[in-house]
Structure formats: C-alpha cells, structure tokens
C-alpha cells in the first residue's frame, strides 16, 4: 500500500491528482499539502497547511504520515509578475522538497517539470526527446527556474540513487477551467504569429497528466519523460479551427512593439516574448508511451478540441 503526499494539492493539477489517488485501492494514505485551504472537503484526503519555501517544514509531515512517495506539483501557475516569489516557490521550494525526501528516506519522488526547461531556442530540434539538454532561457524566469530544478534533480540522481525519481516535462495543459498565457493567445480577433514560423504547439489534457502522475506514484519505471499528446498543432491549424485569420508579424517589428508597450505599462510582456512564440519546444512523447507505458487518451488536436467543447465562451469568428 502506497502512502502519497502531494505538494500543491489544492491547485488545478494537484486537485486532479489528489482526486485520482484517493480513488485507488492500492493507496493507503493521501496527504495534500498546500499554503491554501482546500476549496472543499475531499473524502479520503488529509489536508495539511504547509509552506514548502520554509526549510524543514515538510519533514515532520512526511514522518507523521509515514509517506513513501512524494508528488511535487507546487509551482507558480501564471508566472511573470513576481520573479522573486517565483524563484522562491519553484527553485527554493523544490530544493526543500528534495532535501526532505532524502532526509526522511522517501522511496520515490514524482516531479512536474515543463517543456519550458528545454528553453525557447532557435537550435531546438523539430521534435525534442528527453535526451536533449534542459538549457532553459534566461530571459524567461519560469524557463530558467525549471532548468535549475532539473539540474538539482539530475545531481541528486547521482548522489542519492536510492531515491527514485520520475520527472515529467509537461507540454501545454488544457482542461476544463484552464485559462493562462497560452489560451489568451486565442482570444483576439486574429491569431498572432511570427512571420516565417508556424510555432507548433503540443497539448495534453489535464486528466492525462493526472493519470500519468498516478501511474508514477503507484508503479511504473523511474526516469524522465515528456508528457504531451501525440502530434502537434500549428498556429495556422489553430486559427482555422477558430475560424480566425492569422496576423503574421516580422520578429523584429514585434520585439520593438512589445518593448514600447511594456515601457508604457500596457503589457507585462517584453521583446523576449518573441522567442516564446517563435521557438516552441515540441515534445516527442515516444518514451512516455513505449518506456513509461502510458498512452495519452487525447492527441494534441483532440485535447484542443475538447478544450473548445468545455469552453463555450472561447471567441470564434
């Protein structure tokens, strides 16, 4: 019987994972840790208020409930407003979780990383496998932080091999209620694109991410795996599905426009956003399917379609 603790258990993804684990007959204990109160009472779940950015805060909780598996999901969902806080949660918090697992003898650590860890770079291959280095992009704190966390996890795999790790590099998550900087790109009258780049997106349905997390918590091999639906969708394909035109802007012109708009406090985005749009990390999910043994129920295109079905208010021309 597995005894699982989930950080960020009251968040969007955390709530999905907690609910799925609570239904498992082979899971004896589900402890949800968060700095926020759970939105509602959840049967079979122990709720614990705990701030992972505080060193030593997690160890007593792990020991109290005899936890053998930790699923680390706590993160800043919509980055870009408070870089210091983002670093404290994403990097310092992850360091504290890793240290707590090592100190208490936890058997397995499951971590939600991101495709952003690869960075938004011109030399990224068309399809990125797990062998590609996680270099991040310094101009994007979220991407840089994820790369730093991946570095500390890699070091721990060498120095503390008894702690099994399952690291998921996740593509763009879509699900009921999702609203973020990616979905905001589809709200206007036209879909913005960088001239000369189709900027493919890989999508993954939230329930698929949760299911992979549950498999990692209760069995399956250790390792590092991309999580994304099979296939991708280009900007043109997304625009066609929304029945909207594509506004293709030269990269240099968009960088200047964003620089001016940010200086006038019209947007939080700056010239670096050009790289975010131009060089999307396109995740290959072969290892997820063939090595980890999980096949997503939705392809990228199907996840997008399901997103539209669950978001009737998404603007369509």
CATH number of 29's domain: 3.40.50.720
- Domain membership of residue 10 (yes or no) is yes
Per-residue pLDDT, 256 = 82
- Domain membership of residue 250 (yes or no) is no
- Domain membership of residue 308 (yes or no) is no
What is the mean predicted confidence (pLDDT) over 65-87?
A: 88
Task: Choose between 30 and 196: higher pLDDT.
Answer: 30
| Band of residue 79 on the pLDDT scale cut at 50, 70, 90 | low
For residue 317, pLDDT beyond 60: no
The total of other beta-carbon atoms located within 10 Å of residue 54's CB is: 12
- Domain membership of residue 252 (yes or no) is no
- Residue among 230, 242, 246, 245 at smallest CA distance from 313: 242
Per-residue pLDDT, 252 = 84
| Ramachandran bin of 179, using left for φ above 0, alpha for ψ from -120 to 50, beta for the remaining angles | beta
Per-residue pLDDT, 60 = 98
Crossing angle between the packed helical segments 141-159 and 93-104, to the nearest 10 degrees: 20
- Residue among 39, 31, 51 at smallest CA distance from 11: 39
| pLDDT, tens digit, 9 for 90 and up, residues 48-63 | 999 999 999 999 999 9
Rounded distance, CA 201 to CA 257, Å? 24
| Band of residue 316 on the pLDDT scale cut at 50, 70, 90 | low
Rounded distance, CA 14 to CA 71, Å? 9
Mean residue pLDDT of the chain comes to: 91
Rounded distance, CA 304 to CA 136, Å? 26
Cβ(227)–Cβ(208) below 8 Å: yes
Rounded distance, CA 62 to CA 31, Å? 9
Per-residue pLDDT, 156 = 98
Token pair listed for 169: 């590099």
Task: Choose between 142 and 150: higher pLDDT.
Answer: 150
Residues 6+ apart with CB under 8 A from 239: 190, 191, 245, 246
- Residue among 77, 3, 10 at smallest CA distance from 42: 10
- Domain membership of residue 253 (yes or no) is no
| pLDDT, tens digit, 9 for 90 and up, residues 148-179 | 999 999 999 999 999 999 999 999 999 988 88
Rounded distance, CA 100 to CA 7, Å? 12
| Band of residue 310 on the pLDDT scale cut at 50, 70, 90 | confident
- Domain membership of residue 235 (yes or no) is no
Number of domains the chain contains = 1
Per-residue pLDDT, 267 = 63
Per-residue pLDDT, 237 = 94
- Domain membership of residue 91 (yes or no) is yes
| Band of residue 211 on the pLDDT scale cut at 50, 70, 90 | very high
53 lies in which domain range? 2-177+202-230+283-301
For residue 14, pLDDT beyond 80: yes
φ, ψ of residue 110 to 5 degrees: the values are -110, 125
| pLDDT, tens digit, 9 for 90 and up, residues 248-304 | 888 888 878 777 766 777 665 676 777 888 899 999 999 999 999 999 999 999 999
Task: Choose between 40 and 170: higher pLDDT.
Answer: 170
Rounded distance, CA 281 to CA 260, Å? 27
- Domain membership of residue 237 (yes or no) is no
């Amino acid at each position: 019987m597995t005894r699982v603790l989930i950080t960020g258990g009251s968040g969007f993804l955390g709530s999905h994972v907690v609910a799925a684990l609570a239904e498992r007959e082979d899971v004896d204990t589900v402890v949800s840790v968060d700095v926020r109160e759970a939105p509602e009472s959840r049967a079979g779940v122990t709720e614990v208020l705990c701030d992972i950015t505080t060193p030593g805060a997690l160890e007593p909780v792990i020991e109290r409930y005899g936890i053998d598996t930790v699923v680390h999901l706590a993160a800043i969902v919509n980055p870009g407003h408070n870089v210091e806080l983002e670093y404290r949660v994403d990097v310092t918090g992850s360091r504290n979780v890793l240290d707590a697992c090592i100190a208490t003898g936890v058997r397995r650590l499951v971590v939600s990383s991101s495709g952003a860890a690869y960075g938004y770079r011109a030399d990224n291959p068309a399809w990125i496998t797990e062998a590609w280095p996680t270099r991040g992009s310094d101009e994007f704190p979220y991407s840089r932080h994820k790369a730093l966390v991946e570095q500390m996890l890699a070091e721990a795999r060498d120095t503390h091999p008894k702690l099994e790790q399952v690291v998921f590099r996740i593509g763009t998550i879509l699900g009921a209620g999702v609203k973020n900087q990616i979905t905001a790109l589809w709200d206007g009258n036209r879909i913005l694109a960088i001239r000369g780049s189709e900027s493919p997106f890989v999508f993954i349905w939230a329930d698929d991410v949760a299911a992979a997390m549950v498999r990692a918590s209760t069995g399956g091999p250790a390792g590092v795996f991309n999580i994304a639906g099979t296939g991708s969708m280009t900007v043109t394909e997304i625009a066609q599905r929304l029945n909207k035109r594509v506004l293709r802007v030269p990269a240099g012109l968009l960088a200047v426009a964003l620089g001016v708009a940010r200086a006038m406090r019209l947007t939080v985005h700056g010239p670096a956003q050009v790289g975010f749009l131009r060089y999307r990390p396109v995740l290959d999910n072969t290892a997820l399917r063939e090595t980890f043994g999980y096949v997503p129920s939705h392809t990228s295109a199907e996840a997008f379609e399901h997103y539209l079905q669950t978001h009737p208010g998404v603007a369509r021309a």
